Chains A and B, each alone.
Chain A
Amino acid sequence: MRIAYYPGCSLKALAANFDRSARAAMGALGVELVELERWNCCGTVSSLTTDDLMRQLAPVRNLIRAQEAGERRLVTACAMCYNTLKRAALRVEAHPEELAKINAFLDEEPDYRGGVRVLHLLELLRDEVGFEAVAKRVVRPLEGLRVAPYYGCLLLRPRGVGLDDPENPSILEELVRALGAEPVDSPLKGQCCGSYHTVAHKEVVARRAHKILSEAASRGAEALISSCPLCSFNLDNRQRLIRELDGSFAPLPVLYFTELMALAFGLEEALSPEGHYVDPRPFLEERQLLRR
């Protein structure tokens, strides 16, 4: 299967390990992620005012790129891009008069006609590849590995945009099980990590991350998985600051779900130390899930 792929800005820079592992893991399942040509930043966050059509131009322009390529679907790995692109796609679908305005404004682009579906990689895994096929591809079952899924906000909310039950999601747990590992549940798995406050209010984020990580660790988690470069940064890199606030805090590796897949699929080269503050390799080597 070939599918149009929107990497987004972070996966081209600080979260290149997310992009690399996504391509490798999906490739191993027979899914080729074909990068959209001339894509642009989606705008990252959905604007939430009623008069914000200007802010929809960036996401809609990406939908036009997909339409140009003859694609009806656009898949992304980043939870933030997913949310923003999907909200824009649903909005113009529901409000043709707004779409007409956007098309008139983007007069150097072909008109967007609607109909491009925005998907997250996890949905593709669940609904098309199937977790059974994922389990079949596993060459190194992650037996006994206790992994805490972390959803954060934008995979789940608001209702109608999220890809699972906003209060009781299970898609990441299903993936973890398919890989042979053991999911560790936490009541904070859908709680905000502090998001963009990491730019100017690191301590606020460190306090959020401290809670989320400690709760998962107290329930036996040995690692945490995420689907967002910003959540990962906050939960991983902010551990430096958490250590300053709490000397007894033990580091917890944070992986992208695609890195966990790559590991179970035996694609070790897709799991690099770059992109991680807490290097996950020593602990995986110790558990004999990674060759030294």
Chain B
Amino acid sequence: MDKMGKIDLSAKELQEEVEALSGQRVFACYHCGKCTAGCPFASEMDLTPRQVLEYIMEGRVEVLNSRTIWLCAACFTCTVRCPNGIDIARVMEALRQILLRRGEDSLDLASLGEEELPQIALVAGARKLIG
């Protein structure tokens, strides 16, 4: 889904907003790829977690179109393994928040079926995927 059409953000604004929202120093990344290696969703992603860092460093705003930021379930595996102490789960959350705060939700509760789900699944999904 092209969310970028509606979002006007310069390379510098993207970098500043990610660093401010996440509290992380994205430029500390030296691209070892450890985050990608341990990510349980890497095989389903279009950009690997390391590439997400690379895109931000290069100011490539199209990172906001990536399926990766929505697939990340904040499992914190990368967070505990990054040799530079970057909390990548927070970087992913910052990217989601940039979109959510501009009205780009990623979950339509009305479209869900009848299945009874654990209450925490619904609350967590709503909190992560709806602004």
A: residues with CB less than 8 A from B are 8-10, 12-15, 41, 43-45, 47-51, 55, 78, 80-81, 153, 157-159, 166-167, 190-192, 194-200, 204, 207-208, 229-230, 232-233
In the bound complex, residues from chain A placing their C-beta under 8 Å from that of B41 are 192, 204
For chain B, the count of residues having a C-beta within 8 Å of the partner chain is 37
In the bound complex, residues from chain B placing their C-beta under 8 Å from that of A50 are 20-23
Give the number of residue pairs across the A-B interface with Cβ within 8 Å.
126
- Give the residue name and chain of the A residue nearest to B109 (CB): A199
Please classify the interface of chain B as helix (H, G, I), strand (E, B), loop, or mixed, using the class held by over half of its residues.
Answer: helix
In the bound complex, residues from chain A placing their C-beta under 8 Å from that of B1 are none
In the bound complex, residues from chain A placing their C-beta under 8 Å from that of B73 are 153, 192, 194-197
Cβ contact of A10, chosen from B20, B76, B118, cutoff 8 A: B118
Contact B121 A199 (CB under 8 A): yes
Interface presence of B11 (CB below 8 A): no
Nearest CB of chain A from residue B41's CB, rounded to whole Å: 7
Interface presence of B97 (CB below 8 A): yes
State whether A233 and B121 are in contact (beta carbons under 8 Å apart), knowing that A157-B75, A200-B107 are contacts in the complex: yes
In the bound complex, residues from chain A placing their C-beta under 8 Å from that of B123 are 9, 41, 43-45
Contact B116 A199 (CB under 8 A): no
- Give the residue name and chain of the A residue nearest to B127 (CB): A45
Interface presence of B77 (CB below 8 A): yes
Closest 9 CB pairs of A and B: A157-B76, A192-B75, A48-B93, A196-B124, A196-B125, A199-B125, A9-B119, A44-B123, A195-B73
